Amino acid sequence: GNDMSDISTSDDDDHDEEEENSEVNKTAATSECKETSPACEEVKEEVNQEQQQTQKKETEESISNEVTTTSSQPAVFIPVDRSPKMQAARLKLPVLAEEQIIMEAVRENHCVIICGETGSGKTTQVPQFLYEAGYASGTGIIGITEPRRVAAVSMSHRVAKEMNLSTRVVSYQIRYEGNVTDETKIKFMTDGVLLKEIQKDFLLQRYSAIIIDEAHERSVYTDILIGLLSRIVPLRNKKGLPMKLLVMSATLRVEDFTDNQKLFKTPPPIVKVDARQFPVTIHFNKRTPLDDYTGEAFHKTCKIHRMLPSGGILVFLTGQAEVHSLCRRLRKAFPFRKGDTIAADGEEDDNSEAVKRFKRAKQKKSVSLPRIDLDNYSAQPVDEGDEDREAGIAEDEGSDLDIGDDPDDTDVKGDPSIPMYVLPLYSLLAPEQQAKVFRPPPPGTRLCVVATNVAETSLTIPGIKYVVDCGRVKKRFYDRVTGVSSFKVTWTSQAAANQRAGRAGRTEPGHCYRLYSSAVFGDFSPFSEAEITRRPVDDLVLQMKDLNIEKVVNFPFPTPPSTEALVAAEQLLVSLGALKEPPRLGSVKEMERARLSCPITPLGRAMASFPVAPRYAKMLALGRQQECLPYVIAVVAAMTVRELFEDLNRPAGSEDESSKLSHRRARMVQMRRLWAGQGPSLLLGDIMVMLGAVGACEFAGCTPKFCEENGLRYKAMVEVRRLRSQLTNAVNSVCPDMGVFVNPKMSPPTAHQVVCLRQITLAGLGDHLARRIQAEELLDPKWKDAYKTPLMDDPVFIHPSSPLFKTLPEFVVYQEIMETTKMYMKGVSAVEAEWVPQLLPQYCHLDPPLESPAPWFCTSTGGIRCHRSSTFFRVAWQLPAVEME
Which stretches of the chain bind Mg ion, using CB under 5 A? 123
Q: Which is nearer to ligand CDP, 251 or 554 (CB)?
A: 251
- CA 770 to CA 828: how far, in whole Å? 10
**3-state class of 341 per DSSP?**
coil
Q: Which is nearer to ligand CDP, 169 or 716 (CB)?
A: 169
List the strands of the sheet with 446-451, edge to edge: 280-284, 510-514, 464-469, 312-316, 446-451, 420-425
CB of 144 to ligand CDP, least distance (A): 10
- CA 310 to CA 305: how far, in whole Å? 8
Q: Which is nearer to ligand CDP, 89 or 791 (CB)?
A: 89
CB of 508 to ligand CDP, least distance (A): 13
DSSP string, 389-421: -----------SS-----TT-TT----TTS-EE
Q: State the amino acid at position 222 in one-letter form.
A: T
CB of 865 to ligand CDP, least distance (A): 59
Residue 192's binding partner, choosing from Mg ion, ligand CDP, none, with beta-carbon cut-off 5 to 8 A by kind? Answer: none
Given a contact cutoff of 8 angstroms between Cβ atoms, the answer to whether 637 and 744 are in contact is: no
Near ligand CDP by CB under 6 A, which window of 18-26, 120-128, 281-289, 747-755?
A: 120-128
**Binding pattern to ligand CDP, positions 84-113, x when CB under 6 A?**
---------x--------------------
Q: Which is nearer to ligand CDP, 438 or 856 (CB)?
A: 438
- Cβ neighbours, 10 Å, residue 61: 16
Residue 199's binding partner, choosing from ligand CDP, Mg ion, none, with beta-carbon cut-off 5 to 8 A by kind? Answer: none
**Binding pattern to ligand CDP, positions 160-179, x when CB under 6 A?**
--------------------
Residue 154's binding partner, choosing from ligand CDP, Mg ion, none, with beta-carbon cut-off 5 to 8 A by kind? Answer: ligand CDP
Q: Which is nearer to ligand CDP, 455 or 578 (CB)?
A: 455
Residue 121's binding partner, choosing from ligand CDP, Mg ion, none, with beta-carbon cut-off 5 to 8 A by kind? Answer: ligand CDP
Residue 460's binding partner, choosing from Mg ion, ligand CDP, none, with beta-carbon cut-off 5 to 8 A by kind? Answer: ligand CDP
Round to the nearest angstrom and report the end-to-end CA distance of the chain: 39
Sequence-distant (6+) residues with CB within 8 A of 406 are 299, 300, 303, 412
Q: Which is nearer to ligand CDP, 161 or 665 (CB)?
A: 161
Rounded to 10 degrees, the C-alpha dihedral 159/163/165/167 comes to 0
Single residue of 120, 145, 434, 725 touching ligand CDP by CB under 6 A: 120
List the strands of the sheet with 141-146, edge to edge: 177-178, 170-174, 186-190, 141-146, 207-212, 244-249, 111-116, 270-273
Sequence-distant (6+) residues with CB within 8 A of 67 are 107, 108, 109, 110, 237
CB of 124 to ligand CDP, least distance (A): 3
Q: Which residue is nearest to Mg ion (CB)?
A: 123
Single residue of 119, 346, 558, 623 touching ligand CDP by CB under 6 A: 119
Q: Which is nearer to ligand CDP, 215 or 263 (CB)?
A: 215
**Binding pattern to ligand CDP, positions 245-284, x when CB under 6 A?**
----------------------------------------
CB of 282 to ligand CDP, least distance (A): 21
- CA 727 to CA 749: how far, in whole Å? 19
Q: Which is nearer to Mg ion, 124 or 753 (CB)?
A: 124
Q: Which is nearer to ligand CDP, 458 or 802 (CB)?
A: 458
CB of 171 to Mg ion, least distance (A): 18
Whole-number CA gyration radius for the chain: 28
Given a contact cutoff of 8 angstroms between Cβ atoms, the answer to whether 144 and 110 are in contact is: no
- CA 10 to CA 427: how far, in whole Å? 9
The DSSP bridge partners found for residue 505 are none
The DSSP bridge partners found for residue 282 are 512
Residue 158's binding partner, choosing from Mg ion, ligand CDP, none, with beta-carbon cut-off 5 to 8 A by kind? Answer: ligand CDP
Q: Which is nearer to Mg ion, 123 or 285 (CB)?
A: 123
Single residue of 72, 123, 156, 801 touching ligand CDP by CB under 6 A: 123
Q: Which of residues 498-537 bind ligand CDP (CB under 6 A)?
A: none
- CA 770 to CA 412: how far, in whole Å? 51
Q: Which is nearer to ligand CDP, 116 or 289 (CB)?
A: 116
- CA 742 to CA 721: how far, in whole Å? 10
Query: Helix 655-676 crosses helix 685-699 at what angle (to 10 degrees)?
Result: 110
- Cβ neighbours, 10 Å, residue 274: 12
Given a contact cutoff of 8 angstroms between Cβ atoms, the answer to whether 813 and 770 are in contact is: yes
Q: Spell out the alpha helix ranges (H) of 677-775.
A: 685-699, 704-709, 714-734, 751-765
Q: State the amino acid at position 151 in one-letter form.
A: A
Single residue of 15, 107, 158, 664 touching ligand CDP by CB under 6 A: 158
- CB burial class (10 A; 0-12, 13-18, 19+) of residue 445? middle
CB of 297 to ligand CDP, least distance (A): 23
Residue 771's binding partner, choosing from ligand CDP, Mg ion, none, with beta-carbon cut-off 5 to 8 A by kind? Answer: none
Q: Which is nearer to ligand CDP, 462 or 853 (CB)?
A: 462
Q: Which is nearer to ligand CDP, 119 or 234 (CB)?
A: 119
**Binding pattern to ligand CDP, positions 453-492, x when CB under 6 A?**
-------x-x------------------------------
Single residue of 1, 74, 121, 127 touching ligand CDP by CB under 6 A: 121
Residue 57's alpha-carbon distances to 50, 330, 387, 527, 803, in angstroms, are 11, 62, 38, 35, 61
CB of 173 to ligand CDP, least distance (A): 18
**3-state class of 654 per DSSP?**
coil
Q: Which is nearer to ligand CDP, 118 or 277 (CB)?
A: 118
Residue 681's binding partner, choosing from Mg ion, ligand CDP, none, with beta-carbon cut-off 5 to 8 A by kind? Answer: none
CB of 275 to ligand CDP, least distance (A): 8
Q: Is 124 in the site for ligand CDP (CB under 6 A)?
A: yes
Burial 333-371 (b: 16+ CB within 10 A, else e): bbbbeeeeeeeebbbbbbbeebbeebeebeeeeeeebbe
Sequence-distant (6+) residues with CB within 8 A of 589 are none
Residue 116's binding partner, choosing from ligand CDP, Mg ion, none, with beta-carbon cut-off 5 to 8 A by kind? Answer: ligand CDP
Q: Is 312 in the site for ligand CDP (CB under 6 A)?
A: no
Residue 825 phi, psi (nearest 5): -85, 135
Q: Which of residues 421-460 bind ligand CDP (CB under 6 A)?
A: 438, 460
Given the rule CB under 6 A, which residues bind ligand CDP? 93, 116, 118-125, 154, 158, 438, 460, 462
